[in-house]
């Protein structure tokens, strides 16, 4: 009887200790895995039991905190606009000032002409000059022309062979060089003529397009994109004959892609450019003499250096 009384008093003491420990009542209920687990823990010493309960409490607390954080993050994520939403604009009516921000300037194209994003110019608005008249047209497509031409800039000259196809609404202008594009904003007259010739024009769609283009052109280049840009630039400054061969290969690929996409009009235009490309053949005799001349130049340069050294030594 005495032993039973001692056990009962110990159990009662343990329960009181449990109620006064660091855990709140809600956590206390979660710390036991069942009646058998509770009995097992009751059989332990106070120190062992409190250690196990503390470890369980810490895990439960961490899980609850994680759940709360995840819930808050989900709420924030739902409130924040996505990348696609950031490119969208609210519905607005046609407005001259906003329209002007949608027209791409010549220098912006020149600054990004070597980047491997030519496809992204399609759909943008450009102001361009034909004879003495200015028009605003939408870029329908582009091709690499046979001839390389210069684009003067304050800090030098940029070479390119890109020409655009521009749709002004009343007429499609083909093979327009970048040199004929304008840096000046549209006039009110340009704007009104464009709307007249393009009655279905949607300013909201155009704003989204120009935002997307600006984002792509200004984003940092990846390593592969940077290599493509340098390759494009070098090809324009390389030997003309070699450049024409490389361009012809590229144009054939573009033509085949246009045919596959059922853009037969573009394919025909590319084919006309290909037909007009004249590659000067290099026969074996010319190649031999070219190598001989190169070798002779090297020998002459070496002899000149030796002569200069001998003159210095004799002094």
Mean pLDDT, 10 residues at a time, the chain of 315 residues = 46 43 47 81 86 85 82 71 52 80 93 91 94 93 85 84 92 93 93 93 92 92 89 76 73 83 82 72 55 62 65 65
Q: What is the pLDDT of residue 310?
A: 67
Report which DSSP code applies to 315: -
Q: Are 256 and 147 in contact (CB under 8 A)?
A: no
d(CA 47, CA 183): 81
pTM score: 0.53
Give the domain ranges of the chain. 96-220, 238-305
Number of H helices, E strands in the chain: 13, 5
Report which DSSP code applies to 181: B
Return the bridge partners of 144, or none: 162
| Options 3.30.470.20, 3.90.70.200, 3.30.460.10, 3.40.50.300; CATH of 96-220 | 3.90.70.200
Give buried/exposed letters for 23-44 (b at 16+ CB in 10 A, else e): beeeeeeebbeeeeeeeebeee
Extended beta strands in 206-269, E state: none
Q: What is the pLDDT of residue 20?
A: 38
d(CA 315, CA 313): 6
* Residue reference for tokens 């609210």: 90
């Amino acid at each position: 009887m005495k032993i039973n009384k001692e056990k009962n008093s110990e159990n009662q003491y343990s329960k009181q200790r449990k109620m006064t420990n660091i855990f709140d009542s809600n956590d206390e209920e979660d710390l036991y895995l069942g009646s058998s687990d509770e009995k097992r823990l009751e059989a332990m010493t106070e120190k062992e039991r409190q250690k196990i309960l503390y470890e369980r409490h810490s895990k439960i607390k961490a899980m609850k905190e994680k759940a709360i954080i995840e819930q808050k993050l989900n709420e924030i994520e739902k409130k924040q606009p996505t990348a696609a939403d950031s490119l969208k604009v609210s519905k607005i009516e046609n407005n001259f000032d906003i329209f002007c921000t949608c027209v791409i300037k010549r220098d912006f194209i020149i600054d990004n002409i070597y980047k491997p994003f030519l496809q992204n110019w399609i759909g943008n608005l450009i102001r361009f000059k034909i004879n003495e008249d200015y028009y605003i047209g939408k870029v329908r497509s582009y091709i690499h022309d046979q001839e390389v031409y210069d684009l003067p800039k304050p800090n030098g000259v940029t070479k390119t062979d890109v020409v655009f196809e521009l749709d002004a609404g009343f007429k499609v202008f083909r093979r327009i060089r970048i040199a004929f594009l304008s840096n000046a904003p549209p006039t009110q007259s340009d704007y009104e003529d464009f709307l007249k010739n393009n009655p279905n024009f949607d300013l909201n769609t155009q704003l989204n397009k120009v935002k997307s283009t600006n984002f792509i052109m200004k984003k940092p280049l990846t390593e592969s994109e940077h290599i493509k840009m340098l390759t494009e630039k070098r090809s324009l400054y390389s030997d003309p004959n070699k450049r024409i061969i490389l361009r012809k290969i590229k144009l054939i690929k573009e033509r085949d892609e246009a045919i596959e996409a059922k853009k037969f009009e573009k394919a025909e235009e590319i084919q006309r450019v290909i037909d007009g490309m004249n590659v000067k053949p290099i026969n074996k005799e010319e190649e031999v003499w070219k190598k001989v001349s190169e070798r002779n130049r090297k020998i002459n340069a070496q002899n000149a250096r030796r002569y200069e050294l001998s003159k210095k030594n004799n002094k």
